[in-house]
Amino acid sequence: MKYFSTSTLALLLSITTKSTLAWMTVSHPIHHGTMKEQSKTRLFSSKAKVTIAKYEGLGNDFILVDARDSSEPTLTPEQSANLCDRNFSVGGDGVIFALAPPEGDETYDFSMRIYNSDGSEPEMCGNGIRCLAAFLSDLGEDAKSYRINTLAGPIIPVMNDDGGVTVDMGEPILEGAKVPTTLAANHPDGISVVEQTLECNSKTWLVSAISMGNPHAIIFVNDLLTDIDFESDGPALESSPAFPAKINVEFVQVLSPTHLKMKVWERGAGPTLACGTGTCALVVAAIRAGKIPRPTGEGLEAAVRVTLPGGDLLIEWRESNNKIYMTGPADLSFQGTAVLK
């Protein structure tokens, strides 16, 4: 038997251990990058997700969800508000659901519901309905127009050849109590609120109240830059006790008999680049308050141009049927999958 010294044994053990480790490393490599990627994949796959498309109408941007096989929104108000977060998720002024029409009702092609960026639910959204029409068209619903059921009643968007959308917004609601507002009626018709005095935010305002299925307070100013403190006056007026359901606030400057300019503080969303229903309401308010004449004729030649922070809308208040027609763009920004938080 051959004996080894203590130092020799230590050397052999060291060599054997290194060889074993080397064999283990070659035979069973540990890919740290792969493990991280697998971990990320498992994490992503474990999260609830939703397929979305992002559309905008004059910068008023919305997350569109295809729920045509459902009669109710497929996300909760809280999930929708989280999706609208511009720092931690997709970002948007609201989430719009393309839904099935009411069961058994052949009057409609689809239904629309919307949650604002704060999770509240408005009755309707003018820019949103144009985006919904473009979304339906992009989904393959090849029609010239759509009959949409909304919480504000039936709305009919028509797809134009130039890519824009004209929406039959229905008739304005002029009765103050139905807007709703507690401001006293002061119009000769006995029911309307036209430039009525309101004390709010330590200022005196002349407010016209009109509903387009959702409530609007319209205030005319000489200069949008100097006559209002937008970030302070907007939320104060939105939450004024004079408006039990809160209200969308439009500040309007008259540029010419056929051209108005506005800034909007939207109920539940704050400052946005555009508001379709508000644009319709302010044109009616301008005509009724004598700020501009009512155009004659029909079609775009009888429309009033309204400049919003995000661009222009054309609004026609047609005398023959008392309906309002809104024309403007609706464009796809991107589509994909979003993680629900």
Please write the tens of the pLDDT for every residue from 166-210.
Answer: 999 999 999 999 999 999 999 999 999 999 999 999 999 999 999
Predicted local distance difference test score (pLDDT) of residue 121: 97
pLDDT for 39 beyond 80: no
Mean pLDDT across the stretch 143-150? 97
Predicted local distance difference test score (pLDDT) of residue 45: 63
Mean pLDDT across the stretch 142-166? 96
pLDDT for 47 beyond 90: no
84, 131, 200, 275: which one is catalytic?
275
pLDDT for 265 beyond 70: yes
Q: What is the mean pLDDT of the chain?
A: 90
Q: Decide if 281 contacts 216 (C-beta within 8 A).
A: yes
User: Vertex 13, ends 9 and 15: CA angle to 5°?
Assistant: 120
Continuous H helices in the chain: 6-27, 32-46, 77-83, 126-138, 230-238, 276-288
Predicted local distance difference test score (pLDDT) of residue 18: 43
3-state secondary structure of 184: coil
Predicted local distance difference test score (pLDDT) of residue 259: 98
84, 125, 200, 280: which one is catalytic?
125
3-state secondary structure of 335: strand
Residue 284 is given by DSSP the state H
What's the rounded Cα separation, in Å, for the pair 29 and 269? 54
Share of the chain above pLDDT 90, in %: 86
Active site residue 125: yes
pLDDT for 14 beyond 90: no
For residue 306, with 0-12 CB atoms within 10 Å meaning exposed, 13-18 middle and 19 or more buried, which class applies?
Answer: buried
Predicted local distance difference test score (pLDDT) of residue 36: 52
Write the DSSP string, 73-101.
-SS-HHHHHHHT-TTTSS--SEEEEEEPP
Predicted local distance difference test score (pLDDT) of residue 46: 75
Give the pLDDT band of residue 287 (cuts 50, 70, 90).
very high
Q: For residue 315, list its beta bridge partners.
A: 304, 326
- Written as one letter, the residue type at 50 is V
Q: Decide if 181 contacts 192 (C-beta within 8 A).
A: no
Q: Decide if 55 contacts 135 (C-beta within 8 A).
A: yes
What does the block give as tokens for 25? 């490393």
Share of the chain above pLDDT 70, in %: 87
Please give the residue that has the higher pLDDT: either 310 or 5.
310
Pair type for strands 248-256 and 215-220 = parallel
Active site residue 84: no
**What pTM value is reported for the model?**
0.84
Please give the residue that has the higher pLDDT: either 231 or 11.
231
pLDDT for 11 beyond 80: no
Q: Decide if 93 contacts 116 (C-beta within 8 A).
A: yes
Task: List pLDDT tens digits, range 205-227.
Answer: 999 999 999 999 999 999 999 99
The position carrying tokens 């977060």 is 85
> Which of 127, 132, 126 is closest to 97 using CA atoms?
132
Mean pLDDT across the stretch 299-304? 94
Q: 233 φ, ψ to 5°? A: -70, -35
Residue 192 is given by DSSP the state B
Q: Decide if 64 contacts 54 (C-beta within 8 A).
A: yes
Whole-angstrom distance between the N-terminal and C-terminal Cα of the chain? 72
3-state secondary structure of 321: coil
